[in-house]
Amino acid sequence: MAVTIKDVARLADVAPSTVSRVIANNPRISEKTKRKVKEAMEYLGYHPNFNARSLANRSTQAIGLVMPSSADHAFQNPFFPEVIRGISTKAHEKEYALYMSTGKTEDEIFDGVVQMVQGRRVDGIILLYSRVDDRIMTYLQQQQFPFTVIGKPFKNADCITHIDNDNYKASQELTEYLISLGHERIGFVGGNLNLVVTIDRLLGYEKAIRDAALDYKDHYIVHEQFLKEGGQEAVKELFSLPDPPTALVVMDDLMTFGVISTLKELGLSVPDDISVASFNNVMISELSTPPLTSVDINIFQLGYEAAVGLLDCIQTCKLGKRVVVPHKLIIRQSCKPKLEGLETKETV
């Protein structure tokens, strides 16, 4: 049996409540007994039982993390480790631990959240993604349970604390960059259209295209899943068009790897035959061949601020803050100017 507060109390010759006060660093306790108790704790190797504390306290010192279904392989995206690193950093400052429910399907994940919330396993929750019509978000709102969202809520954005980039603007800028290189036929390779981030980036792209008085063509827009499976088809179709794009805006660095790989199969090379620009600027982007031009969205900070926001929620029960994390275009070697009059070689 582990050593409890009572054992400490007995050894220090005080009441259990006194020991509890010492732990909580209650100011009105004499230095003398404080020392005495601490010695006893040290001697016995005492460590507080978190469950007992949570029960009495109704606070767990843990934050729940909700990821997209690990079934779709979004999981493998380096975005997640990095955003968690950000969350973890802030959490640690306040001595919070992280809690993840397990579960593959939609329903399992939802049940996991319910368990976290109703089972009082966590003090608050961070949603690591934002989708159109998300049950979980609706549920958390109903429950008035503290939570923050990474990304922009599809609706009620002004009463949900969320941390986001200005993806609309970022996408617009990225597209404008390609336009400034002389590209006129620019495709968009998006991911899951249920994700709000996909929508925002698509809209930003459209804005830039229209502002530049270029044709906004539906068939320049394809959506592959974040990773390669199946997505290859979409890209291949794009390049079997009579007027294939000369540049591509891609949702995500990881997807870009898939795109580049597919293009290579088609005999097209980046950036010589086609320019590619994307988002996230994960570490490997810099190391890839060619190094990717990418919008750095400050993933770490996204996570850090989400934790800041959540801890705020937990303390003050206030919701509705919007934090915008700045982005920055990082220009590397995956884009080249479109030379006037020099047509991209037609696909096979």
Partner DNA sequence: TTGTAAGCGTTATCAT
Partner DNA sequence: ATGATAACGCTTACAA
Per partner kind, with CB cut-offs from 5 to 8 A, the member of a copy of itself, DNA, none near residue 138 is none
Pick from 52, 71, 159, 339: which binds DNA (CB under 7 A)? 52
Does 260 participate in binding a copy of itself (rule CB under 8 A)? yes
Distance (Å, rounded) from C-alpha 295 to C-alpha 278?
A: 6
CA distances from 19 to 11, 25, 56, 208, 252 (A): 11, 10, 15, 64, 53
Binding at 33: pick from a copy of itself, DNA, none (beta carbon under 5-8 Å per type):
DNA
| Residue 30 contacts which entry, DNA, a copy of itself, none (Cβ below 5-8 A, type-dependent) | DNA
Residue pair 118/60 in contact (Cβ under 8 Å)? The answer is: no
State whether the Cα torsion 231-234-239-245 is positive or negative.
Answer: negative
The Cα-based distances of 261 to 236, 241, 256, 288, 289 in angstroms read: 11, 19, 8, 12, 11
- The residue from 25, 45, 56, 287 that contacts DNA (CB under 7 A) is 56
| Single-letter amino acid code for the residue at 223 | H
Q: Which residue lies nearer to DNA by CB, 4 or 347?
A: 4
Q: Does 339 bind DNA (CB under 7 A)?
A: no
Cβ-contact 112, 179 below 8 angstroms: no
Stretch (H or E) spanning 227: none
For a copy of itself, the binding residue among 15, 24, 159, 284 (CB under 8 A) is 284
Beta-carbon contacts of 25 under 8 Å, excluding residues fewer than 6 positions away, are none
State which of residues 124, 146, 190, 258 lies at the interface with a copy of itself (CB under 8 A).
Answer: 258
The piece of 9-17, 112-120, 167-175, 198-206 that touches a copy of itself (CB under 8 A) is: 112-120
Question: Is 99 near a copy of itself (CB under 8 A)?
Answer: yes
Q: Does 279 bind a copy of itself (CB under 8 A)?
A: no
Number of residues that this document lists for the chain? 348
- CA distances (Å), origin 126, targets 27, 58, 63, 79, 150: 34, 19, 7, 15, 7
Element (DSSP H or E) covering residue 59: none
Say how many residues touch DNA, by CB under 7 A: 32
Which tokens is 317 given? 């029960």
Among 10, 36, 48, 223, interactor with a copy of itself by CB under 8 A: 48
Out of 15, 283, 331, 339, which residue is the one contacting a copy of itself (CB under 8 A)? Answer: 283
Using rule CB under 8 A, residue 282 touches a copy of itself: yes
Q: Which residues bind DNA (CB under 7 A)?
A: 1-2, 4-6, 13-18, 20-21, 23-24, 26-30, 32-34, 46-49, 52-53, 55-57
Q: Which residues bind a copy of itself (CB under 8 A)?
A: 2, 47-52, 54-55, 60, 62, 70, 73, 75-78, 80-82, 85, 88-89, 91-92, 96-104, 108, 112, 114-116, 118-121, 227-228, 254, 257-258, 260-261, 264, 282-284, 286-289, 291
